[in-house]
Amino acid sequence: MSKIHVTTTVNGDTVEYLCEPTETLLDVLRDRLNLTGAKEGCSTGDCGACSVELDGRLVSSCLVLAAEAGGKTVATVEGMAKGENLHILQEKILEHAALQCGVCTPGILVAAKALLAKNPDPTEEEVRFWLAGNLCRCTGYDKIIRAVLDAAAEMRGA
């Protein structure tokens, strides 16, 4: 089995890797590029813990083959903070204590960022619906939803 050479952009940096044809983008991010923010929850596209943006589109990286990422742009949770400065969504998740174990949090951050890029002023229902594919077994979701709505308000300058 010959490996596939892939050149792609991850969080703004050009990245090259060799991958097996069966490897997923999640496998490569975690095991070859040491970007362990995206988590493997279910590996069947049900839990959202592996959420990343691929060419600006929110996807489950466990359902993308690593070979498919060639020539595309990948954005992971590692690209959200700028140096020591957290993204507003990250600050609000901390402020609202909207996490416990933290496994779902990177996926929720990436998903929420994609939502606010598309819809800067979502209703609570829209946030809940958008994040329906991000499962959290700790928080009961309320704090997460409140943190996202609060971040949205702050990002709008409200």
User: Residues interacting with another protein, by CB under 8 A?
Assistant: 1, 4, 21-22, 24, 43-46, 48, 51, 54, 57-60, 62-65, 67-68, 70, 111, 114-115, 129-134
11's CB contacts (< 8 A; 6+ apart) are 35, 74, 75, 76, 78, 79
Least spacing, CB of residue 86 vs another protein, in Å? 23
Using DSSP, state whether 100 is helix, strand or coil. coil
In the complex, the smallest distance separating the C-beta of residue 20 from another protein, rounded to whole angstroms, is 8
- Choose between 4 and 86: whose C-beta lies nearer to another protein: 4
Edge-first strand listing for the sheet containing 13-19? 13-19, 4-10, 73-75, 51-54, 57-60
C-beta closer to another protein: residue 29 or 131:
131
Q: Where are any strands of DSSP class E within 68-121? A: 73-75
**60 vs 105 by CB, closer to another protein:** 60
CB of 147 to another protein, least distance (A): 18
Give the nearer residue to another protein in terms of CB position, either 67 or 147. Answer: 67
The residue among 27 and 78 lying less far from another protein, judged by its C-beta, is 27
Tokens of 144: 């997460």
**Least Å distance between CB 104 and another protein?**
13
Smallest CA-to-CA distance from 143 within 114, 112, 121, 116 is with 112
- We find the least distance from the C-beta atom of residue 63 to another protein, in angstroms, to be 5
Which tokens is 145 given? 């939803």
3-state secondary structure of 113: helix
